Structure 1
Amino acid sequence: MRKVTLIVNPTAGRGRTARLVEVLQRAQGPDCEVLVTRAPGEARELAGSRRDDTDRVVVAVGGDGTVHEVGGALVGAEAIFGVLPAGSGNDFAKMLAEPPPPESAAEYFASAEVRRCDAGEIRIRHADGRSTQRYFINGVGIGFEAVVADAASRARWLGGSARYIVSAVRRLLTYRAPDAVLRFDGREVAGPLFLVAVGNGRCAGGHFYLTPEAAIDDGLFDICFTTTRSIPRLLRRLPAALRGRHLAFDDIELERSQAMQLQCPDGCMIHADGELLARNAVEVEVDILPGALRLAG
């Protein structure tokens, strides 16, 4: 049996995850530890300190932000990655098997089937000259999607996926797409890129299936993008994106690739797994890392 580390973000799910701590602690055995984070970034540190343990499953207990930290720390690691969803959106968890009840989590992850899962790497050059790098698990959003993710993270007065939907409608009426150049597989798309969604998983923002056919083990990203600026058109496409049917519109495209680059001289916003990485990025490079995670479940 494997050892199990449950890393719990007590603020996920508007604080609902905090109520899981006692349940998890009561169910833990001698080969299970429950670690509760106290600050942003701590989940990444805790997971990183256990990345070389081949017989350990490190489980993110929380939302996509917790998945981002724990999974990112385990890219290329010996330790196994697991997810017990307890957040508002739980986008990456939609790609996984049905999660166990909290009281059975330790037992489940100790013996769950392990498979290989892709991850991604993003490198950003910011308008102020800084360069940053980050691993991600579920996906990257550039432009409008990042603006919505940022707005939703501050709309704490709304619960669950409602904050993403309300934020999307509000920002849609005022957002202006910057001119950018998107490149992948020898193709170049130039113009006002309203949205670029790079999906390892299928869902973003809790309910938006922007890359509805993505797979986490095919060695490819699904890249959804549009250059349309018509607000009436975009308002009609928004409900379709909730069901993954927006690709039926001829002004929305989806391609698959192992890498993409984007240049945006005027700067754009970027998120990865719902976490804001840049407010004013001018150059972006994204690469797939095939099979970079050992995944339980």
Structure 2
Amino acid sequence: MTPRVFTAVVNPTAGGSASAATLIPLARALREAGAELVVEYSRGLEHATALARGAADAGHVVLGVGGDGMVGTVGGALAGTDAVLGIVPAGRGNDFARQLGIPSEPSALAELLLRGEPRAVDAIEANGVPVLGSVYAGVDAVANLNANRSRWLRGSASYYVGALRAVAAWKPARYRVTVDGAEHRFRGYTVVAANSGYYGFGRHVAPDASVDDGLLDVVVVKHGPKPLFFAVMRELADGSHVRRDQVEVLRGREVRIELDDPDRVLPYGADGELPGELPVTARVLPGALRVLAP
């Protein structure tokens, strides 16, 4: 078997020094096995997209090194092509890697990258932009915004504190959600269109979601007392929140999330990033991405 050639697209800021700490022993293991590795440092998401496409055009396996934002950007750049993605989890959340069972230990990860077979998984197109894990719009997107702005906290702590601030200021949103043409109207906290079951630093928001079923799991958290949302946050650890009466799970191939209140503005999130404001249309891209995963 001819050794693979890799290009690692690195987010130098993801998780502080986590990218370097993860990549150095991994790079050593890959090179000792006879593989060639090129390391490219991204100046931003657009630059990461260009680096990924250039490496794919050269026939390299493209490694997304960082958190969900970087992995989503690199994977999104490769979606719909024959290129192969490798994931090096080195960020705060690593939720897509968690869904796929990607190992974080360098020797196990190197073995997967060197000898694993590409697996076809679904992606999402959100307002025309490829996304890997999920698209969400509500108090969680506001929490995401708060976490991204945090100067002192990192990882799950930043998200938890951001969520506390978001819930404290939250007023129920009036949603109009259309799933494969069927319209649903409700007041609530959030709507999550999930390809991957995890988001928000390991929270199991869509426990039955599968990355290769050609469907999105649409998790709706309807209105209730604010303590309800804190209870739901605790239950996200094991996915038991879906048993609550205020939580509904829909499934479909195309989801449009809108607000019924023309005077209100809400951001939507995607893979830990905040690409824009509602409305957003998310549709599944079945088997669009080839990734080295168990």
How is 1:176-215 mapped onto 2 (pairs within 5 angstroms)? 176-215=171-210
- Look up the match of 1:44: 49
1:179 positional shift = 1.9
* Post-superposition offset of 1:25: 4.7
Further displaced range: 114-123 or 166-175: 166-175
What 5-or-longer segments of structure 1 have no aligned partner?
A: 124-132
Residues 1:83 and 2:67 are matched in the alignment: no
CA distance in 2, matches of 1:9, 1:67: 9
Alignment of 1:248-263 (within 5 A): 248-263=243-258
Name the SS for the 1:235 alignment partner.
helix
Query: Which residue of structure 2 lines up, in the alignment, with residue 222 of structure 1?
Result: 217
- Greater CA deviation, 214-223 or 150-159? 150-159
2:189–2:222 Cα contact (<8 Å) kept: yes
SS at structure 1 position matched to 2:51: helix
Superposed CA offset, 1:214-244 (max 9, x none): 1100100111012214212222222112221
Change (3 A) 1:15 1:142: same
Shift of 1:30: 5.5
CA-CA distance at 1:77 after TM superposition: 1.4
Q: What amino acid sits opposite 1:291 in the alignment? A: G
Map 1:1-297 to 2 at 5 A: 1=2, 2-27=4-29, 28=31, 29=34, 31-53=36-58, 55-99=59-103, 101-102=105-106, 105=109, 108-123=112-127, 133-264=128-259, 265=262, 266-278=264-276, 280-281=277-278, 283-297=279-293
User: Are the counterparts in 1 of residues 202 and 237 from structure 2 also a CA contact under 8 Å?
Assistant: yes
Per the alignment, residue 126 of structure 1 pairs with none
Structure 1 Cα separation of the partners of residues 105 and 10 of structure 2:
15
The alignment partner of 1:99 has SS state of coil
On the 8 A contact 1:50/1:79 being kept in 2, the answer is no
TM-score relative to the length of structure 1: 0.88
- Asked whether the equivalents of residues 268 and 280 of structure 2 are also in contact (C-alpha less than 8 Å), the reply is no
Report the AA paired with residue 150 of structure 2.
A
Give the percent of matched residue pairs that are identical in Structure 1 and Structure 2.
Answer: 35
State whether residues 122 and 289 of structure 2, in contact with CA within 8 Å, keep that contact through their aligned partners in structure 1.
Answer: yes
Matched AA of 1:158: L
242-251 or 14-23, which moves further after superposition? Answer: 14-23
Farther off after superposition, 287-296 or 188-197:
188-197
Question: Is contact 2:116–2:292 with CA below 8 Å preserved after alignment?
Answer: yes
- What CA distance in whole angstroms lies between the structure 2 residues aligned with 1:243 and 1:166? 20
CA separation in 1, counterparts of 2:110 and 2:221?
43
Q: Name stretches of at least 5 consecutive residues in structure 2 with no aligned partner.
A: none
Aligned pairs, how many? Answer: 285
What SS does the aligned partner of 1:50 have? helix
Write the distance in 1 (CA, Å) between the matches of 2:258 and 2:221.
Answer: 15
Query: Does the 8 Å CA contact 2:172/2:223 hold for their aligned counterparts?
Result: no
Check conservation: 2:118, 2:292, Cα contact below 8 A.
yes
- Give the deviation of 1:196 after TM superposition: 0.4
In 2: Cα distance, 1:284 partner to 1:37 partner? 27
Q: TM-score, normalised by structure 2?
A: 0.89
| Distance in 2 between residues matched to 1:108 and 1:238, nearest whole Å | 33
Q: CA deviation at 1:199?
A: 0.8
Q: Mark the CA change 1:105 to 1:246 in structure 2 (over 3 Å): closer, same or farther.
A: closer
Question: Within 2, Cα distance between the matches of 1:211 and 1:106?
Answer: 29
Q: Is the 8 A contact 1:61 1:86 kept in 2?
A: yes
* Cα contact 1:4–1:106 (8 A) shared by 2: no
Can you list the C-alpha shifts for 1:46-83, whole angstroms capped at 9, x where unaligned?
10113345x53111111111111101100111210110
The CA distance in 2 between the partners of 1:78 and 1:100, in whole Å, is 25
- Deviations along 1:157-208, one digit per CA (max 9) or x if unpaired, are 1232121122212211211133221111343221324200111111111132
Amino acid at match of 2:173: P
How much is the aligned-residue C-alpha RMSD, in angstroms?
2.0
- Report the Cα distance in structure 1 between the residues aligned to 2:43 and 2:106, rounded to whole angstroms: 20
Q: 2:56 aligns to what SS in structure 1?
A: coil
